[in-house]
């Protein structure tokens, strides 16, 4: 498979969408799909789909299209979803509990192994049979259990300190839900998830549509 050292983030962010639709096609028993049919399904142009996939080798056959199973498996490998990841959550409030429940019920290959808190009222409670532990023990737990990903569901002020501790303990990636961008060493990947940004984008598109209707 063709691999390049520099693939744009825009391409990477489209791959999970492709994979999700391919999974739906698998469930329907569909074996192959053309780029035009896939375009109608995903909302991206056929040219965009072909261009994205060509970054990794293409995978399609002229006159045949794409093998649904083959493309699904290839994208899974590209995204690193052909293996499981062990995770810890820092922050056992509403958001931390929601993420723990989501990963538990949807069985996505991302396994929550530990949940940590500083609030003594939450320490000791169980979420899907996982006992919430004292944050002070997180470094030892991460090191002993070879944790891959840290999920930060703390306040803005605590997020960077938590990130530093998780990086020190040896995680390979951070999923940050605190309302602040965190910094990590170059070898630790990070996704800063700003929920409000998505709402602001939604507001823009709603108002844009409304203004277009009013001009008609």
Handedness of CA 189, 76, 10, 13 (dihedral sign): negative
The answer to the question of whether 172 is labelled as a binding residue is no
In angstroms, rounded to a whole number, what is the distance separating the alpha carbons of residues 167 and 80?
Answer: 20
Tokens matching residue 49: 């789909």
Query: CA 79: distance to chain centroid?
Result: 10
The answer to the question of whether 95 is labelled as a binding residue is yes
Torsion of CA 92, 166, 5, 49, to 10 degrees: 0
Taking alpha carbons only, the member of 56, 58, 16 closest to residue 35 is 58
The answer to the question of whether 80 is labelled as a binding residue is no
The answer to the question of whether 94 is labelled as a binding residue is yes
Known binding site: residues?
91-96
Binding site residues for NAD(+), as ranges?
Answer: 91-96
């Amino acid at each position: 498979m063709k691999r390049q050292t520099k693939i744009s983030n825009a391409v990477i962010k489209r791959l999970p969408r492709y994979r999700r639709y391919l999974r739906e096609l698998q469930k329907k028993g569909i074996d192959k799909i053309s780029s035009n049919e896939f375009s109608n399904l995903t909302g991206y142009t056929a040219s965009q789909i072909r261009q994205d996939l060509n970054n990794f080798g293409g995978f399609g056959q002229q006159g045949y299209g794409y093998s649904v199973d083959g493309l699904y498996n290839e994208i899974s490998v590209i995204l690193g979803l052909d293996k499981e990841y062990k995770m810890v959550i820092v922050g056992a409030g509403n958001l931390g509990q929601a993420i723990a429940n989501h990963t538990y019920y949807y069985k996505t290959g991302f396994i929550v192994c530990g949940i940590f808190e500083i609030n003594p009222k939450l320490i000791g409670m169980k979420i899907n049979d996982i006992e919430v532990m004292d944050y002070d023990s997180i470094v030892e737990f991460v090191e002993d259990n070879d944790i891959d990903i840290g999920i930060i569901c703390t306040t803005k002020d605590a997020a960077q300190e938590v990130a530093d501790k998780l990086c020190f303990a040896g995680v390979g990636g951070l999923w940050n839900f605190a309302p602040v961008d965190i910094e990590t060493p170059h070898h630790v990947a990070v996704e800063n998830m700003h929920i409000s940004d998505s709402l602001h984008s939604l507001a823009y598109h709603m108002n844009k549509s409304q203004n277009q209707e009013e001009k008609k």
